[in-house]
């Protein structure tokens, strides 16, 4: 694997995370539990899609094969997406959505803070720009985790159930392979293992305030970075890709 190929794949992974989670959050548009949250979740979805655009634009420049951002976003097969399994999980309910977002936001903040020091100026600039949005996302999800966890008996039960279900996808946040190793060696990417402890401590701090507990079951599930996904991604892609598949080469 060349440096060019590794860096391209590395950036696409982050773009896929943003794209798929943005699509998931967009499903709340018009269905939020309150108007304020309907707007907030939709805005976060738009932030994530904006991050996707920036990352994919850089990726296609690096690959240099004449692709455009829309092709990368909408015209790949399921196995060609390398997003985290966490972000493709269905919304289920508001608490489930918030827990999924919280786990991702903590990781994303730590990752993009480190990427601001990337030896690639364009990636560092994208990380710095995105970080302003990510900090708001984390503040939003943290406050809701606390509010739901330390709220009513019903809200606590639901959000704890979400934690119990989604915890098995959190170890993949720190997955690394030859792609990561190559870009880390060159200073292009970041070694996520260095802030795994910081991620855990942040989660535990918020959970303490929210009266939530980390599941005792330590079994973990991964595969997204390798293109092996849960059944949920296929349904999501069928909706997301419909227009481009039905009307090839359509431009807005």
| Best CA proximity match to 78, nearest among 221, 222, 236, 220 | 236
Query: What's 3-213+221-246's CATH class?
Result: mainly alpha
Contact predicate 32/38, CB 8 Å: yes
* Residue 252: per-residue pLDDT: 60
Which letter does DSSP use for residue 189 in this model?
S
Distance separating alpha carbons of residues 21 and 29, to the nearest angstrom: 14
Ranges of each domain in the chain = 3-213+221-246
Per-residue pLDDT of the chain (252 residues; tens, 9 = 90+): 898 999 999 999 999 999 999 999 999 888 878 777 878 899 999 999 999 999 999 999 998 887 888 888 888 999 999 999 999 999 999 999 999 999 999 999 999 999 999 999 999 999 999 999 999 999 999 999 999 999 999 999 999 999 999 999 999 999 999 999 999 999 999 999 999 999 999 999 999 999 999 998 888 888 999 999 999 999 999 888 888 888 887 766
| Best CA proximity match to 226, nearest among 16, 76, 83, 74 | 83
The alpha carbon torsion through 208, 163, 14, 25 (nearest 10 deg) reads: -110
pTM of the model: 0.93
* Residue 158: per-residue pLDDT: 96
């Amino acid at each position: 694997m060349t440096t060019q190929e590794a860096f391209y794949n590395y950036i696409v992974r982050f773009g896929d995370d943003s794209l798929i989670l943005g699509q998931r959050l967009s499903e709340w548009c018009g269905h939020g539990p309150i108007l304020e949250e309907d707007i907030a979740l939709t805005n976060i979805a738009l932030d994530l899609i904006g991050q996707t655009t920036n990352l994919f634009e850089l990726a296609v420049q690096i690959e240099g094969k004449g692709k455009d951002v829309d092709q990368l976003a909408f015209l790949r097969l399921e196995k060609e997406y390398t997003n985290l399994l966490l972000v493709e999980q269905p919304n289920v309910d508001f608490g489930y959505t918030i827990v999924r977002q919280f786990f991702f936001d903590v990781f994303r903040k730590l990752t993009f803070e480190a990427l601001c020091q990337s030896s690639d100026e364009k990636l560092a600039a994208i990380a710095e720009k995105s970080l302003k949005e990510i900090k708001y996302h984390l503040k939003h999800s943290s406050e809701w985790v606390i509010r739901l966890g330390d709220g009513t008996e019903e809200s606590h039960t639901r959000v704890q159930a979400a934690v119990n279900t989604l915890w098995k996808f959190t170890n993949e946040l720190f997955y690394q392979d030859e792609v990561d190793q190559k870009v880390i060696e060159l200073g292009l990417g970041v070694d996520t293992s260095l802030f795994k402890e910081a991620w855990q401590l942040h989660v535990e701090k918020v959970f303490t305030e929210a009266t939530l507990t980390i599941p005792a079951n330590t079994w973990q599930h991964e595969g997204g970075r390798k293109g092996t996904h849960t059944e949920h991604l296929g349904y999501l892609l069928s909706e997301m890709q419909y227009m481009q598949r039905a009307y090839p080469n359509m431009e807005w």
